[in-house]
Amino acid sequence: MATLGDCTAAEAVSDQPPCATSRPAATANGRCALTTQDHTTAVSCSAAALLPGGGLAGGFESLFLISAFRLARFRIPARRGMLFSVSTPTRRAVLGTAIAPAFLQGQPRKTSRPNVLFIMDDQHRGDCVRADGNRAIHTPHIDRIGNEGARFSRAYSTSPTCTPARSALLTGLSPWNHGMLHMVAMGSKYPYTKPQAMRDAGYYTMGIGKMHYNPQRALHGFHQVLLDESGRAQSPEFRSDYRAWFYSQAPHLNPDATGVGFNDYPAKAYVLPENLHPTYWTGQTAVNFLNGYNRPEPFFMKVSFARPHSPYDPPQRFMDQYKDADLPKAHVGKWAAKNQKRNSDKDDVWRGDLGEAQVRSSRQGYYASISFVDEQVGRIVDALERRGWLEETLIIFTSDHGDMTGDHHLWRKSYAYEASARIPMAMRWPRGMVSTARGQVIDRPVELRDIFPTCLDAAGVEPARKLDGASLLNLARNPKGEWRDAIDLEHGVCYAPENNWNGFTDGRSKYIYHALHGEEQLFDLQKDPGEINDLSGVSASEPLLRQWRQRMVAHLEGRGEKWVKGGRLQTRQAIPKSPNYPAAAG
């Protein structure tokens, strides 16, 4: 049996062309009511299909889209709680042909524009891919993207926490211009967003996984979104698509049974069957989409994994992979002695010397979680390749921010240091899009705001509004050409008042201004990538320190005298939002 629908099998289909679904609202019985964005037909569905293991015979998991058909309203008796079912080929037959089912093969692509596959994960530090030189970690599929395109070795998240980073991705803007200066709720509506711009350019826009939007069912221009929001629920009525699917597969189980919290430092192998893990769900749902996609227009698909963000809960086989691995020890500078004392006796600490053994244990779970994500990335790219679309698709991989995992006795994120702010970023372009050699490593400073204009470049359209980012494709075409020489970094208060800072880096050195007390730090990233030695008090580094300080003055003085007065940086309390935060969100 096969199923189709938005969050699962549709039980009613109009005689109009199927449209984008919007805001499936979970109900007490695990079903959801879908409303449509392009016409008024309502579709009700159960919570299991379109998704991995949605009751399909023989275990074959596929996403069947119905965009090519005009079907009358009907209901077919369901099996295993499904509301709609059709016959499908056997798993062996389908995998043998490695193409979509026959009834989906009638719509040839009618466009020369590339698909855009944007894959991201959550809290993935930049030095935790093997291509970056870390021989302890196994990331062959993420590495492949860069090896067959370009890897950006100096990629940063300007505001390295979830929601401001995702605002940069959504809008292509810097923190001051999109309005989020530290981790507050994302705006409910922005004037110009990546999914809406790609939709306007003629793309079918699909989002899968963690979005972190506000409200949680906001679309921001996506035709369709299938959510994994981890444990977040803005209201008692909310249930993510992942959790609805989970309960349809295992109504007697608890998705949080492993018992590790979403910001905890302990690591523990996932105690449930591996195919119930949210990382697997996200990967399989993306594969399902690719297996069944047959619309004539190109797609823009965002696939957003909720891991390796804690809980560090990978399957046991990945924990075993790193059991005896020589994992890097924490970088700890003398300047970090102030961070030794734990801020709490709970497991969700953000500061504290937890000892070498605990750092290694946490990193075992963290590395294992990354490799689990990497495996899913490989499955997604393989599905793309089986459809014959590899050379018709721009693939981008990155993360929203990093994870300190004990460096300088710090945990989690929100810091200016490399473990928190530097992220992996790789891009593979279709044949003919970029004439320069594949496999290049580009060391120019890039940032999340650059993803939006890159997608527009691939689509062949100009931005409708001014963006702060620039196209990575242009940089790949001419790596030595005109580009920014440095990137600004910024985060307001997170965890404690003293964690309130601005920074600049060109990838070779980094300047940090701690705004609460006016302290400065300076690091030589070429000689000291672990930021062990703070050079701000070294006389030989004074000219470089002064240069960065003056650049920061020029960067901030337009914000007013609370930021710069008389040509001097001011100490200040943090503000959560700039005047550019969208008013519609409050």
Residues 6+ apart with CB under 8 A from 322: 136, 364, 367, 368, 371
> Helices 278-292 and 356-386: crossing angle, nearest 10°?
10
- The DSSP code sequence of 227-290 is E--TT--SSTT---HHHHHHHHH-TTS-TTTT---TT---B----S-GGGSHHHHHHHHHHHHH
Amino acid at 84: F
Paired strand residues for 185: none
Rg (CA), the chain: 24
Cα dist from 330 to 335, 356, 359, 410, 483, whole Å: 14, 8, 7, 10, 33
**Both ends of the chain: CA-CA distance in Å?**
46
Check if 32 is active-site. Answer: no
Secondary structure of 123-188 as H, E, C letters: CCCCCCCHHHCCCCCCCHHHHHHHHCCEEECCEECCCCCHHHHHHHHHHCCCHHHHCECCCCCCCC
| Cα distances (Å, whole numbers) of residue 15 to 55, 67, 74, 224, 503 | 26, 11, 11, 20, 56
Catalytic choice (138, 141, 182, 212): 212
- Residue linked to tokens 């591996």: 274
> Hunting for tokens 């993420």 — which residue is that?
142
Whole-angstrom Cα distance, residue 248 to residue 211?
Answer: 22
Task: Please state, in angstroms and rounded to a whole number, the distance separating the CA atoms of residues 339 and 161.
Answer: 20
- Catalytic choice (7, 45, 128, 162): 162
Q: How many residues does the chain have?
A: 586
Six-digit token string for 136: 């302890």
> From residue 112, how far is each of 273, 391, 566 by CA, in Å?
42, 11, 55
Q: Does the active-site annotation cover 7?
A: no
Calculate the dihedral angle through the C-alpha atoms of 18, 19, 22, 24, rounding to the nearest 10 degrees.
Answer: 10
Please tell me the distance from the alpha carbon of residue 549 to that of residue 536, in angstroms, as a whole number. 11
The catalytic residue positions are 162, 212
